[in-house]
Amino acid sequence: MYTIGAMSKATGVKVPTIRYYEEIGLLDEPGRNAGNQRRFDQAGMDALGFIKHARDLGFSLDDIRALMGLDGQLGDDCAEADQIARSQLENVRERIAKLEQLARELERISHLCDGGNGGCCKVLTALADHSQCAGDHG
């Protein structure tokens, strides 16, 4: 049996966040001791570890709910779980591409100021005027 603090330490999920996961039904309500404090079992610990890891991988809580719903069933779990993971990968790749475009743009803007220029700030001008941009970020 684990206290909520022990769960937090073991998984790296903050205490209020654990209570939040319980509140939204992502974590099963654990038992309570005589003093109304939560006491988690190993299944609770495993579930929280799963959630933490999936969160770190960028899955939404809804995705995680779906993934956890699959667990323990037979049949096409794997196809479905795989689908969710692949779609998340797609998502991550898109975000990377977009951020790389932004980084290029920001680099360009930053370079405008390298030597310092009297009075008129080119960074602000660049931000004000999209037409100066190389690519079509955003």
Contact footprint for a second copy (CB under 8 A): 46, 49-50, 52-58, 67, 70-71, 74, 77-79, 81-82, 85-86, 88-89, 92-93, 95-96, 99-100, 102-103, 105-107, 109-110, 113, 116-117, 119, 121-124, 127-130, 137-138
Q: Does 87 bind DNA (CB under 7 A)?
A: no
Residue among 14, 43, 11 at smallest CA distance from 27: 43
4 binds DNA (CB under 7 A): yes
Beta bridge partners of residue 2, listed in sequence order: 40
Which of these segments, 8-16, 90-98, 104-112, 117-125, binds DNA (CB under 7 A)? Answer: 8-16
- Least separation in angstroms between residue 3's CB and a second copy is 22
- Stretch in the footprint of DNA (CB under 7 A) among 59-67, 83-91, 95-103, 130-138: 59-67
Cα separation of 96 and 90, whole Å?
10
3-state secondary structure of 38: strand
Q: Is 43 exposed, middle or buried (0-12, 13-18, 19+ CB in 10 A)?
A: exposed
Q: Quick one: CA torsion of 130, 91, 14, 11, rounded to 10 degrees?
A: -140
Chain positions contacting DNA, by CB under 7 A: 3-6, 8, 14-17, 19-20, 33-38, 55, 60-62
